[in-house]
Protein backbone atom coordinates (compact mmCIF):
# COMPACT_ATOMS: atom_id res chain seq x y z
CA UNK A 1 0.00 0.00 0.00
CA UNK A 2 1.03 3.62 -0.51
CA UNK A 3 2.95 4.69 2.60
CA UNK A 4 0.75 7.50 3.89
CA UNK A 5 -1.71 10.05 2.64
CA UNK A 6 0.03 13.11 1.22
CA UNK A 7 -1.50 16.51 1.77
CA UNK A 8 1.09 19.23 2.00
CA UNK A 9 0.47 22.89 1.34
CA UNK A 10 -1.58 23.17 -1.87
CA UNK A 11 -0.88 19.63 -3.09
CA UNK A 12 -3.37 16.94 -2.04
CA UNK A 13 -1.96 14.09 -4.15
CA UNK A 14 1.09 13.47 -6.31
CA UNK A 15 0.39 11.68 -9.55
CA UNK A 16 2.94 10.13 -11.90
CA UNK A 17 1.43 9.37 -15.31
CA UNK A 18 2.12 6.20 -17.28
CA UNK A 19 3.48 8.07 -20.31
CA UNK A 20 6.16 9.88 -18.31
CA UNK A 21 7.57 6.69 -16.81
CA UNK A 22 7.22 4.67 -20.00
CA UNK A 23 8.81 7.31 -22.24
CA UNK A 24 11.83 5.87 -24.09
CA UNK A 25 13.39 9.37 -24.46
CA UNK A 26 13.44 9.76 -28.23
CA UNK A 27 13.41 13.26 -29.75
CA UNK A 28 13.24 14.61 -33.31
CA UNK A 29 17.02 14.38 -33.58
CA UNK A 30 17.72 11.08 -31.94
CA UNK A 31 16.06 7.73 -31.49
CA UNK A 32 14.98 6.24 -28.16
CA UNK A 33 17.62 5.91 -25.43
CA UNK A 34 15.67 3.36 -23.41
CA UNK A 35 13.89 0.20 -24.48
CA UNK A 36 10.12 0.64 -24.54
CA UNK A 37 8.57 -1.19 -21.62
CA UNK A 38 5.15 -2.76 -21.45
CA UNK A 39 2.34 -1.05 -19.51
CA UNK A 40 2.39 -3.87 -16.97
CA UNK A 41 6.05 -3.07 -16.25
CA UNK A 42 5.17 0.61 -15.92
CA UNK A 43 2.38 -0.27 -13.48
CA UNK A 44 4.89 -2.22 -11.40
CA UNK A 45 7.30 0.74 -11.27
CA UNK A 46 4.41 2.96 -10.16
CA UNK A 47 3.44 0.42 -7.51
CA UNK A 48 7.01 0.40 -6.18
CA UNK A 49 7.06 4.20 -6.20
CA UNK A 50 3.84 4.27 -4.18
CA UNK A 51 5.25 1.77 -1.71
CA UNK A 52 8.27 4.04 -1.34
CA UNK A 53 5.93 6.94 -0.51
CA UNK A 54 6.74 8.91 -3.67
CA UNK A 55 3.28 9.09 -5.30
CA UNK A 56 -0.38 8.41 -4.56
CA UNK A 57 -1.90 8.50 -8.03
CA UNK A 58 -1.38 8.04 -11.74
CA UNK A 59 -3.01 8.82 -15.07
CA UNK A 60 -2.79 7.54 -18.62
CA UNK A 61 -3.60 7.82 -22.29
CA UNK A 62 -5.65 4.91 -23.61
CA UNK A 63 -2.66 3.91 -25.76
CA UNK A 64 -0.33 3.87 -22.75
CA UNK A 65 -2.21 0.85 -21.41
CA UNK A 66 -3.50 -1.15 -24.36
CA UNK A 67 -3.19 -1.15 -28.14
CA UNK A 68 -5.94 0.42 -30.24
CA UNK A 69 -7.39 -1.10 -33.37
CA UNK A 70 -9.66 1.29 -35.31
CA UNK A 71 -11.45 -1.75 -36.71
CA UNK A 72 -12.34 -3.03 -33.25
CA UNK A 73 -13.22 -0.07 -31.09
CA UNK A 74 -15.32 -1.91 -28.52
CA UNK A 75 -12.66 -4.46 -27.59
CA UNK A 76 -12.58 -3.14 -24.03
CA UNK A 77 -16.16 -4.29 -23.53
CA UNK A 78 -15.46 -7.86 -24.62
CA UNK A 79 -14.56 -9.87 -21.52
CA UNK A 80 -12.73 -12.39 -23.65
CA UNK A 81 -10.47 -9.81 -25.31
CA UNK A 82 -6.76 -9.28 -24.66
CA UNK A 83 -7.56 -5.64 -23.93
CA UNK A 84 -10.00 -6.54 -21.18
CA UNK A 85 -7.55 -8.98 -19.58
CA UNK A 86 -4.68 -6.50 -19.67
CA UNK A 87 -6.73 -3.69 -18.16
CA UNK A 88 -7.71 -6.00 -15.31
CA UNK A 89 -4.08 -7.02 -14.71
CA UNK A 90 -2.99 -3.38 -14.56
CA UNK A 91 -5.89 -2.52 -12.27
CA UNK A 92 -4.89 -5.27 -9.89
CA UNK A 93 -1.33 -3.95 -9.67
CA UNK A 94 -2.46 -0.36 -9.09
CA UNK A 95 -5.15 -1.34 -6.56
CA UNK A 96 -2.67 -3.55 -4.74
CA UNK A 97 -0.40 -0.53 -4.24
CA UNK A 98 -3.28 1.78 -3.29
CA UNK A 99 -2.72 3.97 -6.35
CA UNK A 100 -5.67 6.10 -7.47
CA UNK A 101 -6.22 6.96 -11.12
CA UNK A 102 -6.63 10.71 -11.33
CA UNK A 103 -7.30 11.18 -15.02
CA UNK A 104 -7.60 9.47 -18.37
CA UNK A 105 -6.75 11.17 -21.62
CA UNK A 106 -7.14 10.05 -25.21
CA UNK A 107 -4.14 9.80 -27.49
CA UNK A 108 -5.13 11.61 -30.64
CA UNK A 109 -1.56 12.37 -31.61
CA UNK A 110 0.39 9.11 -32.03
CA UNK A 111 -1.45 7.46 -34.90
CA UNK A 112 -0.60 8.91 -38.32
CA UNK A 113 -4.33 8.95 -39.11
CA UNK A 114 -4.57 12.01 -36.81
CA UNK A 115 -1.73 13.92 -38.46
CA UNK A 116 -4.11 16.73 -39.37
CA UNK A 117 -5.90 16.70 -36.04
CA UNK A 118 -8.29 14.53 -34.06
CA UNK A 119 -11.45 16.27 -32.91
CA UNK A 120 -10.77 19.13 -35.34
CA UNK A 121 -9.72 17.04 -38.32
CA UNK A 122 -11.29 18.54 -41.47
CA UNK A 123 -12.29 15.04 -42.59
CA UNK A 124 -15.61 14.12 -40.89
CA UNK A 125 -14.70 10.40 -41.02
CA UNK A 126 -11.53 10.99 -38.98
CA UNK A 127 -13.40 13.22 -36.55
CA UNK A 128 -15.95 10.44 -36.03
CA UNK A 129 -13.14 7.94 -35.34
CA UNK A 130 -11.54 10.41 -32.91
CA UNK A 131 -14.85 10.72 -31.05
CA UNK A 132 -15.18 6.94 -30.81
CA UNK A 133 -11.62 6.72 -29.50
CA UNK A 134 -12.45 9.32 -26.86
CA UNK A 135 -15.50 7.27 -25.82
CA UNK A 136 -13.41 4.13 -25.49
CA UNK A 137 -10.93 6.12 -23.37
CA UNK A 138 -13.77 7.31 -21.14
CA UNK A 139 -14.84 3.68 -20.63
CA UNK A 140 -11.26 2.59 -19.88
CA UNK A 141 -10.89 5.47 -17.42
CA UNK A 142 -14.11 4.42 -15.71
CA UNK A 143 -12.72 0.90 -15.16
CA UNK A 144 -10.04 2.55 -13.01
CA UNK A 145 -12.35 5.07 -11.33
CA UNK A 146 -10.70 8.05 -13.08
CA UNK A 147 -11.88 11.40 -11.72
CA UNK A 148 -11.20 13.51 -14.80
CA UNK A 149 -11.05 13.21 -18.56
CA UNK A 150 -8.42 15.48 -20.07
CA UNK A 151 -8.41 16.87 -23.57
CA UNK A 152 -5.05 18.28 -24.51
CA UNK A 153 -4.60 19.92 -27.85
CA UNK A 154 -2.39 17.19 -29.34
CA UNK A 155 -2.47 17.67 -33.14
CA UNK A 156 -5.50 19.96 -33.10
CA UNK A 157 -3.86 22.94 -34.73
CA UNK A 158 -2.38 24.19 -37.98
CA UNK A 159 0.84 24.92 -39.74
CA UNK A 160 -0.76 26.92 -42.55
CA UNK A 161 -3.48 29.43 -41.53
CA UNK A 162 -5.05 29.67 -44.98
CA UNK A 163 -5.77 25.93 -44.95
CA UNK A 164 -8.05 26.16 -41.88
CA UNK A 165 -11.85 26.16 -42.03
CA UNK A 166 -12.17 28.99 -39.50
CA UNK A 167 -15.95 29.02 -39.74
CA UNK A 168 -16.24 25.50 -38.37
CA UNK A 169 -13.11 24.46 -36.58
CA UNK A 170 -14.08 25.63 -33.07
CA UNK A 171 -17.57 24.19 -33.55
CA UNK A 172 -16.01 20.78 -34.28
CA UNK A 173 -13.92 21.08 -31.15
CA UNK A 174 -16.95 22.08 -29.07
CA UNK A 175 -18.85 19.16 -30.55
CA UNK A 176 -16.08 16.80 -29.43
CA UNK A 177 -15.99 18.22 -25.91
CA UNK A 178 -19.77 18.32 -25.55
CA UNK A 179 -19.65 14.69 -26.64
CA UNK A 180 -17.43 13.91 -23.64
CA UNK A 181 -20.03 15.32 -21.26
CA UNK A 182 -22.93 13.61 -23.03
CA UNK A 183 -21.20 10.22 -23.08
CA UNK A 184 -20.27 10.38 -19.40
CA UNK A 185 -23.88 11.16 -18.50
CA UNK A 186 -25.49 8.71 -20.95
CA UNK A 187 -23.32 5.80 -19.82
CA UNK A 188 -23.46 6.84 -16.16
CA UNK A 189 -19.68 6.88 -15.79
CA UNK A 190 -20.01 8.28 -12.30
CA UNK A 191 -16.34 8.31 -11.30
CA UNK A 192 -15.85 11.45 -13.43
CA UNK A 193 -16.28 14.69 -11.53
CA UNK A 194 -15.20 16.85 -14.45
CA UNK A 195 -13.13 17.21 -17.58
CA UNK A 196 -10.24 19.48 -18.42
CA UNK A 197 -8.68 21.23 -21.36
CA UNK A 198 -4.89 21.28 -21.42
CA UNK A 199 -3.66 24.13 -23.60
CA UNK A 200 -0.33 24.20 -25.39
CA UNK A 201 0.97 26.70 -27.96
CA UNK A 202 2.49 24.28 -30.47
CA UNK A 203 2.81 20.55 -30.91
CA UNK A 204 5.24 20.04 -32.44
CA UNK A 205 5.13 23.13 -34.67
CA UNK A 206 2.72 25.67 -36.08
CA UNK A 207 -0.09 26.79 -33.76
CA UNK A 208 -2.62 24.89 -31.71
CA UNK A 209 -6.26 25.99 -31.53
CA UNK A 210 -6.14 26.45 -27.74
CA UNK A 211 -2.63 27.74 -27.11
CA UNK A 212 -2.94 29.20 -23.59
CA UNK A 213 -5.03 28.94 -20.43
CA UNK A 214 -6.80 32.15 -21.40
CA UNK A 215 -7.87 30.64 -24.71
CA UNK A 216 -9.03 27.51 -22.90
CA UNK A 217 -11.21 29.38 -20.38
CA UNK A 218 -12.74 31.50 -23.14
CA UNK A 219 -13.55 28.40 -25.14
CA UNK A 220 -15.06 26.57 -22.15
CA UNK A 221 -17.22 29.48 -21.06
CA UNK A 222 -18.13 30.72 -24.52
CA UNK A 223 -18.70 27.55 -26.47
CA UNK A 224 -19.45 24.50 -24.34
CA UNK A 225 -22.94 23.43 -23.27
CA UNK A 226 -21.86 22.59 -19.70
CA UNK A 227 -19.06 25.00 -18.82
CA UNK A 228 -19.32 24.14 -15.10
CA UNK A 229 -18.13 20.57 -15.84
CA UNK A 230 -14.97 21.76 -17.60
CA UNK A 231 -11.82 23.35 -16.25
CA UNK A 232 -8.18 23.72 -17.19
CA UNK A 233 -5.10 21.75 -16.25
CA UNK A 234 -2.27 24.06 -17.22
CA UNK A 235 1.12 22.45 -17.66
CA UNK A 236 3.53 24.61 -15.68
CA UNK A 237 6.11 25.63 -16.33
CA UNK A 238 6.19 24.04 -19.78
CA UNK A 239 3.23 24.98 -21.86
CA UNK A 240 2.65 28.59 -20.84
CA UNK A 241 6.43 29.24 -20.80
CA UNK A 242 6.65 28.09 -24.41
CA UNK A 243 4.58 31.21 -25.15
CA UNK A 244 6.67 33.39 -22.81
CA UNK A 245 3.89 33.50 -20.20
CA UNK A 246 4.38 33.25 -16.44
CA UNK A 247 3.14 30.45 -14.20
CA UNK A 248 2.29 32.70 -11.24
CA UNK A 249 0.09 34.76 -13.52
CA UNK A 250 -1.56 31.62 -14.94
CA UNK A 251 -2.51 30.14 -11.57
CA UNK A 252 -3.65 33.55 -10.34
CA UNK A 253 -5.95 33.91 -13.34
CA UNK A 254 -7.25 30.35 -13.34
CA UNK A 255 -8.02 30.25 -9.62
CA UNK A 256 -9.82 33.54 -9.84
CA UNK A 257 -11.91 32.12 -12.72
CA UNK A 258 -12.49 28.93 -10.65
CA UNK A 259 -11.07 26.93 -13.52
CA UNK A 260 -7.85 25.51 -12.06
CA UNK A 261 -8.89 21.85 -11.77
CA UNK A 262 -5.41 20.36 -11.33
CA UNK A 263 -1.80 20.93 -12.32
CA UNK A 264 0.67 19.38 -14.71
CA UNK A 265 4.14 20.06 -13.41
CA UNK A 266 7.63 20.15 -14.89
CA UNK A 267 10.20 22.69 -16.06
CA UNK A 268 10.96 24.59 -19.23
CA UNK A 269 13.31 27.04 -20.90
CA UNK A 270 11.20 30.01 -22.01
CA UNK A 271 10.27 30.16 -25.69
CA UNK A 272 11.71 26.76 -26.57
CA UNK A 273 9.72 23.78 -27.78
CA UNK A 274 8.25 21.56 -25.08
CA UNK A 275 11.36 20.66 -23.00
CA UNK A 276 9.42 18.61 -20.44
CA UNK A 277 12.32 18.90 -18.01
CA UNK A 278 11.69 17.28 -14.64
CA UNK A 279 10.60 19.96 -12.13
CA UNK A 280 13.37 22.31 -10.99
CA UNK A 281 15.76 20.65 -13.46
CA UNK A 282 17.31 22.72 -16.25
CA UNK A 283 18.71 26.22 -16.23
CA UNK A 284 15.52 28.22 -15.61
CA UNK A 285 12.41 28.57 -13.52
CA UNK A 286 13.35 28.13 -9.85
CA UNK A 287 11.93 31.48 -8.78
CA UNK A 288 8.84 31.11 -10.95
CA UNK A 289 8.10 27.60 -9.67
CA UNK A 290 8.43 28.60 -6.04
CA UNK A 291 6.32 31.71 -6.48
CA UNK A 292 3.66 29.62 -8.21
CA UNK A 293 3.25 27.50 -5.06
CA UNK A 294 3.36 30.63 -2.91
CA UNK A 295 0.52 32.10 -5.01
CA UNK A 296 -1.51 28.89 -4.76
CA UNK A 297 -1.21 29.01 -1.00
CA UNK A 298 -2.09 32.70 -0.90
CA UNK A 299 -5.33 32.10 -2.81
CA UNK A 300 -6.10 28.96 -0.79
CA UNK A 301 -6.17 26.55 -3.75
CA UNK A 302 -5.71 22.85 -3.05
CA UNK A 303 -5.61 20.04 -5.55
CA UNK A 304 -3.81 17.27 -7.36
CA UNK A 305 -0.42 17.73 -9.00
CA UNK A 306 0.71 15.46 -11.80
CA UNK A 307 4.33 15.30 -12.83
CA UNK A 308 4.21 15.68 -16.59
CA UNK A 309 7.78 15.58 -17.77
CA UNK A 310 10.50 13.25 -18.96
CA UNK A 311 13.78 12.11 -17.55
CA UNK A 312 16.77 13.82 -19.16
CA UNK A 313 18.05 11.88 -22.17
CA UNK A 314 21.48 11.94 -20.56
CA UNK A 315 20.05 10.26 -17.43
CA UNK A 316 18.50 7.39 -19.39
CA UNK A 317 20.48 4.25 -18.70
CA UNK A 318 19.79 1.48 -21.25
CA UNK A 319 21.63 -0.97 -18.97
CA UNK A 320 19.13 -0.29 -16.17
CA UNK A 321 15.87 0.80 -17.77
CA UNK A 322 13.80 0.11 -14.66
CA UNK A 323 16.24 1.58 -12.14
CA UNK A 324 16.70 4.85 -14.01
CA UNK A 325 12.93 5.22 -14.29
CA UNK A 326 12.57 4.78 -10.53
CA UNK A 327 15.30 7.39 -10.02
CA UNK A 328 13.30 9.74 -12.23
CA UNK A 329 10.20 9.36 -10.04
CA UNK A 330 12.34 10.07 -6.99
CA UNK A 331 13.81 13.19 -8.63
CA UNK A 332 10.32 14.54 -9.38
CA UNK A 333 9.09 14.03 -5.85
CA UNK A 334 12.25 15.47 -4.37
CA UNK A 335 11.90 18.52 -6.62
CA UNK A 336 8.27 19.03 -5.59
CA UNK A 337 9.15 18.88 -1.89
CA UNK A 338 12.03 21.29 -2.48
CA UNK A 339 9.73 23.76 -4.23
CA UNK A 340 7.02 23.43 -1.56
CA UNK A 341 9.56 24.05 1.20
CA UNK A 342 10.99 27.08 -0.56
CA UNK A 343 7.46 28.43 -1.09
CA UNK A 344 6.81 27.90 2.61
CA UNK A 345 9.66 30.30 3.39
CA UNK A 346 7.91 32.94 1.31
CA UNK A 347 4.76 32.77 3.40
CA UNK A 348 6.29 35.28 5.85
CA UNK A 349 6.96 37.78 3.09
CA UNK A 350 5.82 41.24 4.04
CA UNK A 351 6.39 43.76 1.28
CA UNK A 352 4.63 46.69 2.92
CA UNK A 353 6.29 49.99 2.12
CA UNK A 354 8.69 48.38 -0.35
CA UNK A 355 9.07 49.25 -4.00
CA UNK A 356 8.31 46.41 -6.41
CA UNK A 357 12.03 45.82 -6.96
CA UNK A 358 12.71 45.82 -3.21
CA UNK A 359 9.85 43.37 -2.69
CA UNK A 360 11.26 41.02 -5.30
CA UNK A 361 14.76 41.13 -3.80
CA UNK A 362 13.34 40.58 -0.33
CA UNK A 363 11.42 37.56 -1.60
CA UNK A 364 14.58 36.11 -3.14
CA UNK A 365 16.54 36.67 0.09
CA UNK A 366 13.78 35.03 2.11
CA UNK A 367 13.56 32.08 -0.28
CA UNK A 368 17.33 31.59 0.00
CA UNK A 369 17.36 32.21 3.77
CA UNK A 370 19.75 35.13 3.41
CA UNK A 371 19.60 37.68 6.18
CA UNK A 372 19.85 41.37 5.51
CA UNK A 373 23.11 41.64 7.47
CA UNK A 374 25.03 39.06 5.41
CA UNK A 375 23.82 40.61 2.17
CA UNK A 376 24.92 44.08 3.36
CA UNK A 377 28.38 42.71 4.27
CA UNK A 378 28.90 41.71 0.67
CA UNK A 379 27.79 45.08 -0.70
C1 LIG B 1 2.08 17.00 -23.80
C2 LIG B 1 1.07 16.90 -22.78
C3 LIG B 1 0.53 15.53 -22.61
C4 LIG B 1 -0.76 15.60 -21.89
C5 LIG B 1 -1.55 14.37 -21.88
O6 LIG B 1 2.72 18.00 -23.97
O7 LIG B 1 1.55 17.41 -21.57
O8 LIG B 1 1.46 14.73 -22.02
O9 LIG B 1 -0.59 16.05 -20.60
O10 LIG B 1 -1.85 13.95 -23.14
MG1 LIG C 1 0.56 17.70 -19.69
Tens digits of residue pLDDT in 111-159: 999 999 999 999 999 999 999 999 999 999 999 999 999 999 999 999 9
- CB distance 288 to ligand 1 below 6 Å: no
The pLDDT mean for the chain works out to 97
- CB distance 156 to ligand 1 below 6 Å: no
Q: What is the pLDDT of residue 300?
A: 98
Ligand 2 centroid distance, CA of 309 (Å): 8
Ligand 2 centroid distance, CA of 198 (Å): 7
Given the CA of residue 19, which atom of ligand 1 is nearest to it? 8
Q: What is the pLDDT of residue 3?
A: 59
Question: What is 11-348's CATH superfamily?
Answer: Divalent-metal-dependent TIM barrel enzymes (3.20.20.150)
Phi, psi angles (nearest 5°) of residue 360? -65, -45
Q: What is the pLDDT of residue 316?
A: 98
Q: Is the per-residue pLDDT at 330 higher than 70?
A: yes
Overall average pLDDT of the 249-254 stretch = 98
Residue whose Cα lies nearest atom 7 of ligand 1: it is 308
pLDDT tens digits, one per residue of 208-250: 999 999 999 999 999 999 999 999 999 999 999 999 999 999 9
- CB distance 198 to ligand 1 below 6 Å: yes
pLDDT tens digits, one per residue of 263-305: 999 999 999 999 999 999 999 999 999 999 999 999 999 999 9
Instruction: Mark the residues whose beta carbon lies below 5 A from ion ligand 2.
Output: 235, 264, 308
Q: Would you please indicate which residues are annotated as catalytic (active-site) residues?
A: 61, 64
Give the mutation target among 137, 198, 279 for probing the ligand 1 site: most ligand atoms within 8 A of CB. Answer: 198
Ligand 1 centroid distance, CA of 366 (Å): 34
Of 79-88, 198-207, 348-357, the poorest mean pLDDT is in: 198-207
Of 25-29, 218-222, 334-338, the poorest mean pLDDT is in: 25-29
Residue whose Cα lies nearest atom 4 of ligand 1: it is 152
Domain boundaries, the chain: 11-348
Residue whose Cα lies nearest atom 2 of ligand 1: it is 152
pLDDT tens digits, one per residue of 74-106: 999 999 999 999 999 999 999 999 999 999 999
Ligand 2 centroid distance, CA of 175 (Å): 22
Q: What is the pLDDT of residue 1?
A: 55
Q: What is the pLDDT of residue 5?
A: 84
- CB distance 147 to ligand 1 below 6 Å: no
- CB distance 264 to ligand 1 below 6 Å: yes
- CB distance 64 to ligand 1 below 6 Å: no
Give the mutation target among 106, 119, 134, 152 for probing the ligand 1 site: most ligand atoms within 8 A of CB. Answer: 152
- CB distance 259 to ligand 1 below 6 Å: no
Amino acid sequence: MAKKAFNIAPVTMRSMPFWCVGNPLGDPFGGPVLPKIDSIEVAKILADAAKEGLIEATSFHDDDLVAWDPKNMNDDLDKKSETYAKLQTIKKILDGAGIKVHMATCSLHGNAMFRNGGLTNPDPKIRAIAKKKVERTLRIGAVFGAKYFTYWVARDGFEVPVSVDWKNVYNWLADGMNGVYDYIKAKKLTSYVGATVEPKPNEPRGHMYLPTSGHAVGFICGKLKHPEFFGVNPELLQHESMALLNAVHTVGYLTSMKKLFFLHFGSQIKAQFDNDFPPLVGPEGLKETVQMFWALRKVGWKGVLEYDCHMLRSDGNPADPIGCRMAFVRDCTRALSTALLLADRLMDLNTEGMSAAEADLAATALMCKLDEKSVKEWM
